[in-house]
Amino acid sequence: MNALSSMRKSMHSLTRRDEVFEFLKPDVHPAIDTRHNILLYVEGVNKSFDGFKAINDLNLYIKEGELRCIIGPNGAGKTTMMDIITGKTKPDTGEVWLGSNINLLKMNEAEIANAGVGRKFQKPTVIECLSVWQNLELAMSGVRSVWGTFTARMTGEQKDKLLSVLELIHLKDEAQNNAGNLSHGQKQWLEIGMLLMQNPKLLLVDEPVAGMTHQEMDRTSELLNSLAGKHSVVVVEHDMDFVRSIASHVTVLHQGHVLAEGTMDQVQAHPEVKQVYLGE
Ligand SMILES: Nc1ncnc2c1ncn2[C@@H]1O[C@H](COP(=O)(O)OP(=O)(O)O)[C@@H](O)[C@H]1O
Ligand SMILES: [Mg+2]
């Protein structure tokens, strides 16, 4: 048995040990038990800041391969929810599991990322002086230094992966262009591509279309839809037209709690949602 597969086998029992993650490639994740078809469990989660309940008995279940939109007014707890899933913030009470076997509350941010949870923040963090290709190459590598990445040779498989991601994010023609020359929308796609290089099981995306043109929004909706199936994708978004264009299952968050869930039409017809969110 080679070192990597034996490491992979022992991952489950070792998820609490930082040192395991030091030399694991980020695209090698521990086995996630999704026999119940649920990838993410958020159960009875509470979080207060100075006595203010930002998250209040939150329950959320994300299926394998599903695309879910989370909407809600400012201060509803959307970002705090993402912070809790990614380990940036620890809840006061409750449970957060990846599959039925990986307890995310026992892991730190790096461990959670390595377990297969990728997060895209609002502001793109691509490296502007590197080409699109190099940004993707860097994202794939488990090696932390730029030098280490570019002196190591990619395997054929890695190259294929990079090419398929380039195609998916519609940046094939820009591969050799510096990331700094891309449009705002293209940078956002590159960053999604960089996350994809690590093969996340769960992708959390915070307000992906803020500042995009209509054309870029359409392309983003297409991109997120094309990711569903292979990945579970949770999108936090304010733009109602965009959420409608994604046409996915929608969860409305209000005061840290799930107010309604369903199709966009269903939640928009929900009287309480109309009241608190749509201002009717
Ligand atoms: N680190 C923090 N310290 C104090 N209050 C916070 C902190 N993070 C979030 N909050 C509060 O929690 C509530 C939910 O915030 P947030 O999760 O950012 O909402 P949303 O992303 O839905 O707009 C807000 O009232 C916010 O002020
Ligand atoms: Mg927010």
Residue 133, CB-side half-sphere exposure with 13 Å CA sphere: 12
Region 33-40 average pLDDT: 92
Best mutation site among 80, 90, 92 for ligand 1 pocket (most ligand atoms within 8 Å of CB): 80
In a domain, 181, yes or no: no
In a domain, 241, yes or no: yes
Expressed in angstroms and rounded, the spacing between residue 215 Cα and the centre of ligand 2 is: 24
User: For position 35, which CATH number holds?
Assistant: 3.40.50.300
Residue 259 structural domain: 30-124+200-278
In a domain, 119, yes or no: yes
pLDDT of residue 20: 38
Expressed in angstroms and rounded, the spacing between residue 223 Cα and the centre of ligand 1 is: 29
Atom 2 of ligand 1, nearest CA residue: 49
Report how many domains make up the chain. 1
In a domain, 192, yes or no: no
The yes-or-no verdict on residue 94 having pLDDT over 90 is yes
Residues lining ligand 1, Cβ inside 6 A? 49, 54, 72, 74-80
Region 209-225 average pLDDT: 92
Higher pLDDT, 54 or 240: 54
In a domain, 133, yes or no: no
In a domain, 256, yes or no: yes
pLDDT in tens, 235-266: 998 888 899 888 779 999 999 999 999 999 99
Q: Is 247 left (phi over 0), alpha (psi -120 to 50) or beta?
A: left
Decide: residue 208, CB within 10 A, 0-12 exposed, 13-18 middle, 19+ buried. buried
- Specify the pTM: 0.85
In a domain, 67, yes or no: yes
In a domain, 46, yes or no: yes
Decide: residue 113, CB within 10 A, 0-12 exposed, 13-18 middle, 19+ buried. buried
